Amino acid sequence: MLTAGLAAIVLVIAGETALWGATAQRNDSEASIAADSRLSDTSAPAQITIPAPIQTSAPLAVPVEPEQATPAGFNKSARSIDDPTSIWFVVDKTRPIPDAANYVPPDLVALRSDIPNPYGYPLRQEAADALASMADAATAEIGQQLVAQSGYRAYDIQEIVYNRYVAQLGVAGADRTSARPGYSEHQTGMAIDILATGSGCSLDGPCFGETTAGQWLAANAYRFGYLLSYPADKTAVTGYEYEPWHFRYIGVDLSTEMHNEGVTTLEEFFGLPAAPGYLG
């Protein structure tokens, strides 16, 4: 009962705060809108009524409104994992991009111009915005300049990349480090390979994961909606060797939930089969 009483008082105070904010700024925040719709007469002075202590000894039945209820568990069905335009889309060696040869993601944009991007790769808008925030944070928190080594790769570019690896390493070797065309996170426009200025590393081996920037990214990318797609201990799940440079944008809600649960692959989080190799 005490908790319910406190919740009611907090709600009143929160409403007052939002009302004052709305009066002062007329901003468009959801809180202000909610306050406006809750309060029937915003021109009258608001009154706070503090109820007298309840005298009854019987338990009170306090109705719980849905918005006050304890938040339910994370809704894993809130977005599609099958639609390649969804930020939760899962692509791996068993889950190719549908009609991949013809798929081009929407809203590709250039990266913010102060982020080094030597090959000029774009990303989808939301992923590019999040990258810019992450790059700013890396500069502010560890004094490092993130560098975009890759971003969106079209189907035919992926074909060239993959075939180059096949020529060097053979099919088995190429499959451990590069996606076949149609199976790459890079074709979604939501994956990026990141190094840092002066890291001394390339997109190969564990080098970057041992640097200040690599370690910062591994620990902090989730704050910006990014996930390290191919962790060192999940090769059997992802089908790829450790790639400390490869990050996938999945949105802050999902990246935070995975971080909080300690789950590091999309396959495990969504209960999908491991994807150590191609089916065909």
Of residues 193 and 257, the one with the C-beta less far from Zn ion: 193
Q: What DSSP string runs through 225-274? A: TEEESS-TT-HHHHSS---TTEEEE--HHHHHHHHHHT---HHHHTTPPP
Q: 192: which strand partners?
A: 247
Please state the closest distance from residue 178 (CB atom) to Zn ion, in A. Answer: 9
Q: Is 193 helix (H, G, I), strand (E, B) or coil?
A: strand
**Which residue ranges make up the site for Zn ion (CB under 5 A)?**
193, 246
Task: Give the residue numbers marked as catalytic.
Answer: 243
Q: How far apart are the C-alpha atoms of 252 and 139, rounded to whole Å?
A: 20
Of residues 216 and 240, the one with the C-beta less far from Zn ion: 240
Please state the closest distance from residue 173 (CB atom) to Zn ion, in A. Answer: 16
Please state the closest distance from residue 145 (CB atom) to Zn ion, in A. Answer: 19
Residue nearest to Zn ion (CB): 246
Q: What are the helix (H) ranges across the chain?
A: 2-25, 30-38, 125-142, 155-177, 212-220, 235-238, 252-261, 266-269
Of residues 150 and 255, the one with the C-beta less far from Zn ion: 150
Any residues with CB less than 8 A from the CB of 34 and at least 6 apart, and which? 18
Q: Is 194 helix (H, G, I), strand (E, B) or coil?
A: strand
Of residues 177 and 256, the one with the C-beta less far from Zn ion: 177
Q: How far apart are the C-alpha atoms of 127 and 250, rounded to whole Å?
A: 8
Please state the closest distance from residue 246 (CB atom) to Zn ion, in A. Answer: 4
Angle at 144 between CA 203 and CA 113, to 5 degrees: 80
